[in-house]
Structure 1
Amino acid sequence: MQVSPVLEIRDISRRFGNTQALDGVSLRLYPGEVHALLGENGAGKSTLIKIMTGVYQPDSGQILLDGRPVHIGSTLAAQRLGIAAIYQEPLMYPDLNVAENIFIAHAGRGPFVDWGRMYREAEALLAQLDVRLDVRLPARGLSVAAQQTVEIAKALALQVRVLIMDEPTAALSAHEVEQLFAIVRRLRDQGVAILFISHRMEEVFAIADRITVFRDGRLISSAPRAEVTPEQAIRDMAGRSVEQLFPRRHTVRDQVLVEVRDLSRQGAFQGISFDVRAGEVLGFAGLVGARRTDVGLALFGIAPADSGTVRIDGQLVRITNPRQAMRHGIAYVSEDRRGLGLSLPMSIAANITLPTLRRYLNPLGLLRQADEIATAEAYRQRLAIRAPSVAVEVGKLSGGNQQKVMLSKWLNTRPRLLILDEPTRGIDVGAKAEVHQMIDDLAAEGIAIILISSDLPEVLAMSDRVLVMREGRQMAIFSRQEATQERVLAAAMGQMYDGMPVG
């Protein structure tokens, strides 16, 4: 007996001004199936989610629930139909407890709350997910993983039939991802249809039963996971082969630009020693908790080292704050775009010139706006930032374009050492390829680059050498030829591979 789709999207189109966000796309979601949706930023994934959850209305096409046409006029209407979504950043009420957050969407429960019943029902919903959590705890103290679990329990409380998960693993550790996947599989086994959206290819192939690819608002392919390879999915998403994602030329020069010896910070890392040459990409690899980011923060003066030495061009330098680091030609592109990287309400131009604002002031201290715009426009073209003008607010850009603005911001400081911390996290395959090309181009210009990334294929493909850390200690430095996936993982786990030396 053939199972019918619980939700079917038929020939849905949606236009925003001159942009055709969706162009006649169709999708079927079946009960008890994890359906992965892949696509670059701008492929139409977010627009489809918002149509499915009642935020947007389609210009044409149909949505069918159990084979019958439905109109989803609001998020409340979507919830009543059993359609719910959880996002990368859970929508929690921090001052309410876990149980209150689970049942916050319930209307018509009367003027009085049966607290005992609410706590029991909340515990029962979490038990369905095989999760133990104190339902009386305030949401404010929960980890992102725990908040997402509460969001899933909230969906169960609304008798969810279709659960949309939009980049749910972006802020989770590997262990938390496994826990989330266990919950996803449990929901699947309970008959929930799950639409899973992620830029992490390995996760998609680990959890999905079917994989669909969008590109430029159109459906490109849809097939069972067993019939799709990662290379094929990438080619469908980006319109290019996987080999083009990691362009790397050998551009290392003889000049040692930066020498680090026995760098340590109490409680974070100790005994870190390495050199970086002009035009070299030195990759930092390691598992969660390796403290690679802490080394980058120390070099940029955000969290200075307690001991050890840093030399630039052979001269001993002292770096206790970012301003000193910038004076010595060091720039740091943070993995935290929102917290440490960008001011989202400000324009592209204002963000790019922020660290070097004094360059754009006249003798009276007033902004030379034409000069600021000219600089920003040059970077917009150089890095192919997709925006109609540099006056656009950064918060309105896609993740990949925000990343390019942040790169522009620090390239405008004219760095000699560029520290890139997770430069492609949370951006799509096409934007990753563009960032990788930029890294290669910058190295060719003679800039020394430290690449900190949890994406091991990225580190191996883009680095001239790879430094491996484990729990704040330096385990090994491998040349490009020596740096195989097996050796790097073995060092990251504290087990040397093939007798490769430490240091």
Structure 2
Amino acid sequence: MTQPVLSLDHVSKRFGSTLALSDMSLVLFPGEVHAIVGENGAGKSTMIKIMTGIHQPSEGTVSVDDTVRTISGSQTARELGIAAIYQEPMVFPDLDVAENIFISQVGGGWLQNKAKQRREASALIERIGMDLDVDRAASGLTLAEQQAVEIARALSQDVRVLIMDEPTASLSAHEAEQLRRIARQLAADGVAVVYISHRLEEIFEVADRVTVIRDGEHISTRLITETDTDTMIAEMVGREVGNYFAKAKSHARDEVILSVGGLTLDGVFENIDFELRRGEVLAMAGLIGARRTDVALALFGIHPATSGTVAYKGEPLKITSPKQAMDAGIAYVSEDRRKLGLAMPMAIRANISLATLGDFLSKIGLINREKERATAHQFRQRLNIRTPDIETEVGMLSGGNQQKVMLAKWLNMQPDLLIFDEPTRGIDVGAKAEVHDLIRDFVKQGGAAIVISSDLPEVLAMGDRILVMREGEQMAILDHEEANQERIMALATGQDDLGRVAA
């Protein structure tokens, strides 16, 4: 490992006023598996996109074989031997395995010379130790087999750096072990493997070195034999909660508004159990693939649960549609405000009335614009929506103000239970504090809230209790007084409270 195959030297990346990477340095050597770990939003994806040419660094340099290079796009990255595979494989379902492997090599007679294509594809599949028929249609492959096809595709292009981004997040234990074995074999063959995973137990199984990043900055790089789970978690979450938002006084009452028992959606999550009281905030914590959003979608009736019980306001309730949930007084503030939460080309006024449009219809079925305007003006003042005009298109607002409009849309429904999915994603610190205050005010007035968040300081600031999930399984429910970032992260990564790998 005398000469690195790829290195980032003091790389920073800005998106407008947001600094996604700051003075990041990373050195990759052939023949090793180099793990990269960090919280959601730590900057891992931005770093991958710089290495694969999707983004260009704002500052710093990228070197290949100790020579500074400009990786201007994915084609340049492939020519330099840099490839990436992701949690969701990209295969063409109507093509067979061999065709998928050589899909990028349209020249050289590959498409015409089927026999040569099959021989080469079989050799590549054999090299990574998979038993896979190269004439088989990709539509019938498992996720693990699809990822093997992507690895074989990278090998067909003489890959020298293979980036594996959360490759096992959707795989079974057996499939995950297959993929880790492939990663180790590739490193033994001289490939530099970058392995990104939230599963700390597999980092210790597969990695030679590990780099921890936090908030876009390099924290440490160590041999895997020179670190442990506790050190890694502490470095991943090493922020003082007080630097963000202080925990507000609890307003929890005795009345249980929602009781969930054994809630299961086959193949997605299972045996979710909790109670939620009026005036309480239940925070749901976990990493990518924890299935927290799927639980929320089941409670809102978008993807109904297949088994389990829900009692709402003391009565059994089987939620099979969003309309049924809304009629019961349950609202869901989506994590994706652009796709699922708001109609971006429409005015603030029109967006606020969307969830309760029937309340704004006249006797002849026309929308009462004056009533819409009056309601929009009330929420503009109440939520401090910064806009010169309620007729402004929502797409023209800042992220924080868009979030407030989406919240206004659901508050106008006067719900008893609000489910917030990543309520402050993509908004600035000032707007985050305002959204937190709005949630606290809602529960203070007698509502109840479920807050799903990947931001641990937010989880600790908002949650009266914290439900931690991992890969569709409920790991624990912690009272706020017993919770801290290290304990939540340990549970979310499959460790028990003593830092041991959970069974």
TM-score normalised to structure 1 length: 0.66
Match of 2:417 in 1: 417
Indicate how the Cα distance of structure 1 residues 207 and 463 shifts in structure 2: closer, same or farther if over 3 A, else same: farther
Structure 1 residues 15-66: Cα deviation after superposition (integer angstroms, max 9, x where no partner)? 555555555433211121314153663x654444333223344455433221
- Alignment of 1:230 with 2:201, yes or no, is no
- The letter of the residue matching 2:235 is Q
Of the structure 1 ranges 201-210 and 30-39, higher mean CA displacement relative to structure 2 is found in: 201-210
Deviations 1:361-381 (A, max 9, x none): 788427657965985897697
Relative distance call for 1:183 and 1:257 in structure 2 (3 A) is same
Residues 163-217 of structure 1 show CA distances to partners (whole Å, capped at 9, x for unaligned) of 223344454455544443333233233322233445666665665422142535x
Deviation of 1:5 after TM superposition, in Å, equals 0.9
- Cα distance change, pair 309–246 in 1 and its aligned pair in 2 (3 A): same
Give the distance between the partners of 1:285 and 1:46, measured in 2 at CA. Answer: 20
Q: Secondary structure at the match of 2:221?
A: strand
Q: Judging changes above 3 Å, is the alpha-carbon distance between structure 1 residues 202 and 112 closer, same or farther for their aligned structure 2 residues?
A: closer
Q: Verify: 1:163 aligned to 2:162, yes or no.
A: yes
Counterpart of 2:102 in structure 1 is 103
* Bigger mean CA offset, 185-194 vs 439-448: 439-448
Q: Is the 8 A contact 1:342 1:351 kept in 2?
A: no
Q: CA deviation at 1:105?
A: 1.3
What does residue 255 of structure 1 align with?
255
Question: Structure 1's 224 and 323: CA in aligned 2 closer, same or farther, altered over 3 A?
Answer: same
Taking a change above 3 Å as real, the CA distance of residues 249 and 232 of structure 1, as seen in their structure-2 partners, is: farther
Following TM superposition, by how much is the alpha carbon of 1:99 offset from its aligned partner in structure 2, in angstroms? 1.8
Q: CA 1:393/1:308 → structure 2, altered by over 3 Å: closer, same or farther?
A: same
Give me the whole-angstrom Cα distance separating, in 2, the residues matched to 1:438 and 1:179: 47
Indicate if the aligned counterparts of 1:40 and 1:215 stay in contact, CA closer than 8 A. Answer: no
What is aligned with 1:221?
219
Q: Assess, with a 3 A threshold, how the Cα gap between structure 1 residues 392 and 309 changes in structure 2: closer, same or farther.
A: same
Q: What is the correspondence of 1:457-476 to structure 2 with a 5 Å cutoff?
A: 464=465
CA drift at 1:83: 0.6
**Distance change in 2, residues 1:324/1:132 (3 Å):** same
Q: Which residue of 2 aligns with 1:9?
A: 8
- TM-aligned CA distance change 1:108 to 1:447, over 3 Å: same
2:118–2:134 Cα contact (<8 Å) kept: yes
Contact 2:212 2:232 in 1 (8 A): no
Q: Which residue of 2 aligns with 1:75?
A: 74
Tell me if the contact between 1:285 and 1:453 (Cα under 8 Å) persists in the aligned partners. yes
3-state SS in 1 of match to 2:252: coil
C-alpha deviation, 1:279, in angstroms: 3.3
**Counterparts of residues 57-76 of structure 1 (less than 5 Å):** 57-76=56-75
CA deviations on 1:372-426 (whole Å, 9 max, x unpaired) are: 59858976979xxxxxx942599xx8xx9999998776566443234578x69x9
| Aligned twin of 1:324 | 324
Uncovered stretches (5+) of structure 1, i.e. residues with no partner: 383-388, 493-503
1:93 equivalent to 2:97? Answer no
Match of 1:365 among 367, 374, 382: 367
In structure 2, the partner of 1:385 is none
Letter in 2 for 1:355: A
C-alpha distance in 2, partners of 1:136/1:377? 63
The 1-side partners of 2:366 and 2:84 are apart by 52
**In 2: Cα distance, 1:55 partner to 1:251 partner:** 47
User: Could you tell me which residue of structure 1 aligns to residue 499 of structure 2?
Assistant: none
The answer (yes or no) to whether the contact 1:247–1:440 under 8 Å persists in 2 is: no
State the distance in 1 between where 2:451 and 2:301 align: 17
Q: Give the Cα separation in 2 of the matches to 1:195 and 1:87.
A: 12
Report the counterpart of residue 498 of structure 2 in structure 1: none
Most deviating of 137-146 and 273-282: 273-282
Residue in 2 that maps onto 1:190: 189
Q: Does 1:240 align with 2:240?
A: yes
Mapping of residues 15-30 of structure 1, within 5 Å: 15-19=14-18, 21-30=20-29
Kept after mapping to 2: 8 A contact 1:418/1:449:
yes
User: Partner of 1:110: helix, strand, or coil?
Assistant: coil
Alpha-carbon offset, residue 224 of structure 1: 0.5
- Distance in 1 (alpha carbons) for counterparts of 2:134 and 2:220: 40
**CA separation in 1, counterparts of 2:20 and 2:263?**
50
Q: In 1, are the aligned partners of 2:404 and 2:435 still within 8 Å (CA)?
A: no
Give the superposition deviation at 1:119. 2.5
Tell me whether 1:391 sits opposite 2:395 in the alignment.
Answer: yes
The answer on whether the counterparts of 2:5 and 2:64 sit within 8 Å (CA) in structure 1 is yes
Q: Which amino acid aligns with 2:93?
A: P
Give 3-state SS (helix, strand or coil) of 2:395's partner.
coil
Match of 1:497 in 2: none
In the alignment, which residue of structure 1 is the partner of 2:211? 211
Query: How big is the shift at 1:480?
Result: 9.3
Structure 1 residues 166 and 255, CA gap change in structure 2 (3 angstroms):
same
Structure 1 residues 345 and 152, CA, compared in 2 at 3 Å: closer, same or farther?
farther
How far is 1:106 from its partner? 1.7
- 1:106-136 per-residue CA deviation (whole Å, 9 max, x = no partner) reads 2432275332332232233233333333333
Counting matched residue pairs gives 467
| More displaced 10-residue stretch of structure 1: 131-140 or 308-317 | 308-317
Contact 2:211 2:220 in 1 (8 A): yes
Work out the CA distance in 1 between the residues paired with 2:47 and 2:472. 42
Deviation, 1:103, is 1.0
Is the 2:33–2:184 Cα contact (8 Å) retained in structure 1?
no
Residues 1:448 and 2:448 are matched in the alignment: yes
Conserved? CA contact 1:347–1:393, under 8 Å: no
More off after superposition, 338-347 vs 143-152 = 338-347
The whole-number CA distance in structure 2 between the counterparts of 1:54 and 1:417 is 44
Give the Cα separation in 2 of the matches to 1:266 and 1:49: 33
Could you say what secondary structure the match of 1:229 adopts?
A: helix
Give yes or no for contact 2:33–2:183 (8 Å, CA) kept in 1.
Answer: no
Question: Aligned residue for 2:500?
Answer: none
1:7 CA displacement: 0.9
Q: Sort the Cα spacing of 1:20 and 1:466 in 2 relative to 1 into closer, same or farther, 3 A.
A: closer
- Note if contact 1:12-1:60 (Cα within 8 Å) is conserved in structure 2: yes
Equivalences for 1:278-317 in 2 at 5 Å?
278-280=278-280, 299-302=299-302, 312-314=312-314
Conserved? CA contact 1:247–1:436, under 8 Å: no
Aligned to 2:501: none
Q: Distance in 2 between matches of 1:280 and 1:451?
A: 11
TM-score normalised over the length of structure 2: 0.66
Contact 1:37 1:195 in 2 (8 A): no
Residue equivalent to 2:114: 115
Cα distance in structure 2, aligned partners of 1:40 and 1:356: 34
